[in-house]
Amino acid sequence: MTKLSDIILNDAKSSMEGIDFSRLKNKSVLITGASGLVGTYLLTGLAHIPQKSRPKQIYAICQSKPERHWKEITGRVRATVIRGDLCNDRFVGGLPKADVIIHASGYAQPGKFMMDPLKTIKLNTAVTLKLLGKLESKGKFPPRRSKRTRSAQLIPIIHVPATSRVSDAARR
């Protein structure tokens, strides 16, 4: 293990404390933007879920070639890595269906956003809608509380904007 992967593993472990992941048991999870900062921490957090609550399958979707530390992390999580461009309709059409989809793909750096603003907008709109088609028929994500009903609402897909913090997004 590299020093960086050790740091990320320890940091993600503390970020995931207190979150109930029992609804992920025996589910398939697809994470877009898996090689980015948010996706890396989400994958790393999944490595710390107790065995009794772990997903049955994790798909890590990324466009960029992953760094060495990321490969070490995905090996620990036992994720299936799928590389491709989410703005390519054929690529998205070939993705597996999943019970839970976490859409964390996007550019956080203003320079990259400005290089191709249309692609960035497409990632945050059209791709999100296409990913809904990859959701299993009963696909859900852990509950989000409603102020009106004070009960849990199940939402099928989580879209994590590039500016969100991992721990905030995971607790919603």
Write down all domains in the chain, each with its CATH number in brackets.
Answer: 3-171 (3.40.50)
Q: The tokens of 172 are what?
A: 């919603």
The residue-averaged pLDDT of 117-141 equals 81
The residue-averaged pLDDT of 1-16 equals 79
What is the C-alpha to C-alpha distance for residues 172 and 165, in angstroms, rounded to an integer? Answer: 11
Task: Kindly state the DSSP code that residue 115 receives in the 8-state scheme.
Answer: H
106 burial level (CB within 10 Å; 0-12, 13-18, 19+): buried
Is pLDDT at 41 greater than 80 in this prediction? Answer: yes
pLDDT of residue 165: 41
pLDDT of residue 11: 85
> Global pTM?
0.77
Q: How far is CA 15 from CA 38, 169, 171, in A?
A: 12, 11, 10
pLDDT of residue 42: 87
Give percent of the chain above pLDDT 90.
24
What is the C-alpha to C-alpha distance for residues 49 and 16, in angstroms, rounded to an integer? Answer: 8
Contact 132, 171 (CB under 8 A): no
pLDDT bin (cut points 50, 70, 90) of residue 88 is very high
